[in-house]
Structures are given as structure tokens and as C-alpha cells.
A and B are shown apart, each in its own frame.
Chain A
Amino acid sequence: GQQVMQIPQYQHVQEGEDFTTYCNSSTTLSNIQWYKQRPGGHPVFLIQLVKSGEVKKQKRLTFQFGEAKKNSSLHITATQTTDVGTYFCAGQDQGGSEKLVFGKGTKLTVNP
């Protein structure tokens, strides 16, 4: 079945440093979504990427979808303490699956 792998599992940075998490799917995706989960909270939608090679920005966050639509990345510039949380990618298989498969997430901690 479809697998979505995410690295690294943990990342600790000093405030002001950049952060990147990577997501790789075993199958070609029709789209990929990114979610953020604060400690003790629930996942909250950040963005969806649909097109091959797509790049989207949200303030300090940059999201990319690979040309082959099998990988994606989330980059945060100049991290802040408010960025703390776990970031998940989730992909829908291009074969028309009705399921969204989540990666295991990258837990980000930021040292002030």
C-alpha cells in the first residue's frame, strides 16, 4: 500500500535558525497537504499543493511539491518559538484513492 515517509522525526533549533522537513511518497500523488499540530492540540491545515513543481509561500513558510509529485518539503525561515509543534504531510494517491495517508511527522522544538 501507499506509504508516506517524513524526515527528520525530530528537529531542535535555536530561535532564528531555519528548519526544513521532507516528505516522500512510495506512489505518485494527486495532491499533498501539510498540517501543524501544537503540543496537546489537534492537527490544523496549513496548505495543499496540487501541481507538479508547485511552490507556495505563507509568510516565513515555503512549501514545495516535487516535479514527479512524489515528494514535498516545508521550509521555515528564521524560526520563532510560535513555530513549535509537529508538522505532518499527508498525500492522496493519484490512483483515485479516497484515503489520505499521513507521514509520521517532524517534531520541531525551538530554543529561545
Chain B
Amino acid sequence: NAGVTQTPKFQVLKTGQSMTLQCAQDMNHEYMSWYRQDPGMGLRLIHYSVGAGITDQGEVPNGYNVSRSTTEDFPLRLLSAAPSQTSVYFCASSRGQLITDTQYFGPGTRLTVL
């Protein structure tokens, strides 16, 4: 198993550009989520999904869209990049949500918005 994979590893955007951060898992996990990590701020939940076709907002959803058309993939779209979105983005997945299961994190995408 590859676990949770994220692409790209690094990305530089100009203000106003859009892009999609890819996340995929091969563990047949139902729950997937996106976090952003900023210095001194810990991990903040952007969006999450409890299964294919179901998504919901987390703590900091503004400026981001998600969709979950398959169990394996959970892409994060930046609609119009802003410097405040410069961050490290982590995708995570877990087996279920009856009792919060272990979150398996991807290696992260380091995004810089100029």
C-alpha cells in the first residue's frame, strides 16, 4: 500500500491563480480530510468527507473547494490564490468515524502564493 499520497510536493502560485492539490489513498478509507499547517497555529481543518459524495466544511473553509467523487480521491481546489493561503497542506484519511480512528497523513504540499 502506498498509503496517502499528495501531489505536488511543492508549488508556487501568483495571486489570483487557481490550482488543485491532489490527494489519494489506497486503504479504502471512508473519511478523508484536508488540513493546513501554519507556524504556531497547529493543524486547522479545511474540509472533510465521511464518504464518496459527502463533504462538509471544517474550521477554515473560505477560499477552498472540495469534492469526493470516489472513495480514493479527495482533491482540494484553490479558487483564486491569495498570499494568506501560503501554508503546508496535509491530506489525511481514516477508516471510519464512529470512534475517531487513526488519521493517516500524507507527506504534505508546501504552497507559496506570491
Contacts and interface: CB of A to CB of B under 8 A. Distances in A.
Interface of A: 1, 6, 9, 30-31, 33, 35, 41-45, 48, 50, 88, 90, 92, 98-105
Chain B interface residue count: which class? 20 to 34
15 contacts: A6-B42, A31-B100, A33-B102, A33-B103, A42-B105, A42-B108, A43-B103, A90-B43, A90-B103, A98-B56, A98-B97, A100-B33, A100-B103, A101-B59, A102-B35
B109 to A, nearest CB: 11
B77 interface: no
Given A42-B90, A43-B90, A92-B100, A99 B105 contact: no
B48 A99 contact: yes
Given A1-B59, A33-B103, A42-B107, 15 more contacts: A9-B40, A33-B102, A42-B106, A43-B43, A43-B90, A43-B92, A43-B105, A45-B102, A45-B104, A88-B42, A99-B45, A102-B35, A102-B42, A102-B43, A104-B42
Contacts of A44: 105
Nearest to B90: A42
A43 B4 CA distance: 12
B99 interface: yes
Given A42-B105, A50-B99, A100 B45 contact: yes
B1 to A, nearest CB: 16
Given A9-B40, A43-B43, A100 B100 contact: yes
A21 B53 CA distance: 38
Given A44-B105, A99-B58, A33 B42 contact: no
Nearest to A43: B105
Given A42-B90, A45-B102, A98-B56, A105 B42 contact: yes
